[in-house]
């Protein structure tokens, strides 16, 4: 029993295992989860044990010899693996009753995404998407302002040159291009800011430059330009909302993305403790994958 003037003990951190040991796992997942205090990085598993050891070492985390071993030692699993691998392993983790911190897209195609969402629903596990921009205070302020506006049209872009070379030019990104990698971010924000997207059509090549035109249920129309293969000084994400009122602009230039991680970690841990997912869950991931499927060229 807590005595007068004595603060209640903080809840124990959520024990999270990390599947994956690539650049994004090292730069974000491992560092974020180990920083706590809401979570603890218990172990890392990867298909290359040496990569898992390199990722785990700075935080004193264990190296799991198999994915099954990773599941045995954690309450939740964070995924930093290609979409096809995530879709397979997330179904196993859900069946084992583990909460899921999922990357986007849920899977390489709509069928795989449906399987993940179905497993989450069947086993009643908590799920949350790493849609990083959604956890930044500036993004949430933008969405609040958009909700109060009458939006009739929107323009947006997500552009960078990471696919031209370097650690982010991974095989799945080079194969599927910007639609699967960058598309979930813009479609999510347009769907949330302008109104539910009813239909999407595309033009272009996802591996070079692709344009999306979204028709929203409220009659608004928005456009999104996506490319990971253009040379720019810095990545560019910008959304402009238009209507009878003042223009509303969201621009990530100058934002400190380090502000996202504590919010993401805190909300995931709170969801796991409560046993209830928030709005950015596997169902949201499936919704985005359905829109991506509509936008596939050809």
Alpha carbons 286 and 24: distance in angstroms, whole number: 22
The upper half-sphere exposure of residue 215, i.e. CA atoms within 13 Å in the direction of its Cβ, equals 7
Alpha carbons 113 and 276: distance in angstroms, whole number: 20
Are 181 and 173 contacting, i.e. CB atoms less than 8 angstroms apart?
yes
Structure tokens at 23: 């650049």
**Cβ neighbour number for residue 17 with a 10 Å cutoff:** 27
In eight-state DSSP terms, residue 245 is: S
Structure tokens at 43: 């172990």
Question: Would residue 20 be called left, alpha or beta, if left means φ above 0 and alpha means ψ between -120 and 50 degrees?
Answer: left
Q: Which residues of the chain have pLDDT under 70?
A: 1-8
How do residues 149-199 score in pLDDT, each as one tens digit?
999 999 999 999 999 998 888 899 999 999 999 999 999 999 999 999 999
| DSSP-based three-state secondary structure for 115 | helix
Are 32 and 265 contacting, i.e. CB atoms less than 8 angstroms apart?
yes
Alpha carbons 24 and 131: distance in angstroms, whole number: 13
C-alpha to C-alpha distances, 130 to 62, 135, 262, 267, nearest whole angstrom = 23, 9, 12, 11
Backbone angles phi, psi at 78, to 5 degrees: -100, 135
How do residues 66-91 score in pLDDT, each as one tens digit?
999 999 999 999 999 999 999 999 99
Matching residue, tokens 């859900």: 94
Domains and CATH numbers, the chain: 14-132+262-281 (3.40.50.720), 137-254 (3.30.360.10)
> Which pLDDT score is estimated for 10?
81
Spatial neighbors of 86 by CB under 8 A, at least 6 apart, are: 19, 79, 102, 103, 106, 107, 116
Report the alpha-carbon angle 243-247-248, nearest 5: 110
Q: What is the pTM of this model?
A: 0.94
**Cβ neighbour number for residue 7 with a 10 Å cutoff:** 7
Alpha carbons 237 and 93: distance in angstroms, whole number: 33
């Amino acid at each position: 029993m807590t005595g007068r003037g004595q603060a209640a003990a903080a809840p124990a951190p959520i024990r999270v295992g990390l599947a994956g040991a690539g650049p994004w796992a090292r730069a974000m997942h491992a560092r974020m989860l180990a920083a706590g205090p809401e979570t603890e990085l218990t172990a890392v598993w990867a298909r290359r044990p040496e990569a898992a050891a390199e990722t785990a070492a700075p935080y004193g985390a264990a190296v799991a010899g198999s994915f099954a071993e990773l599941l045995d030692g954690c309450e939740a699993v964070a995924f930093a693996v290609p979409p096809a691998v995530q879709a397979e392993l997330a179904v196993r983790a859900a069946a084992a009753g583990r909460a899921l911190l999922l990357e986007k897209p849920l899977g390489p195609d709509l069928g795989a995404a449906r399987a993940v969402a179905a497993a989450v629903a069947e086993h009643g596990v908590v799920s949350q998407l790493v849609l990083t921009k959604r956890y930044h205070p500036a993004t949430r302020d933008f969405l609040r302002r958009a909700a109060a506006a009458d939006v009739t049209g929107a323009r947006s872009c997500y552009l960078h040159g990471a696919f031209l070379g370097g650690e982010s030019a991974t095989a799945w990104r080079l194969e599927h291009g910007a639609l699967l990698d960058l598309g979930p971010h813009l479609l999510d924000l347009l769907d949330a800011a302008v109104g539910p997207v009813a239909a999407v059509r595309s033009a272009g090549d996802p591996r070079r430059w692709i344009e999306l035109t979204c028709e929203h249920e409220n009659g608004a129309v928005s456009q999104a330009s996506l490319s990971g293969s253009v040379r720019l000084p810095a990545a560019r994400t910008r959304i402009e909302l238009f209507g009878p009122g003042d223009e509303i602009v969201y621009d990530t230039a100058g934002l400190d993305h380090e502000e996202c991680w504590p919010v993401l970690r805190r909300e995931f841990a709170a969801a796991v403790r409560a046993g209830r997912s928030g709005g950015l869950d596997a169902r949201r991931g499936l919704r985005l994958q359905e829109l991506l499927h509509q936008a596939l060229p050809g």
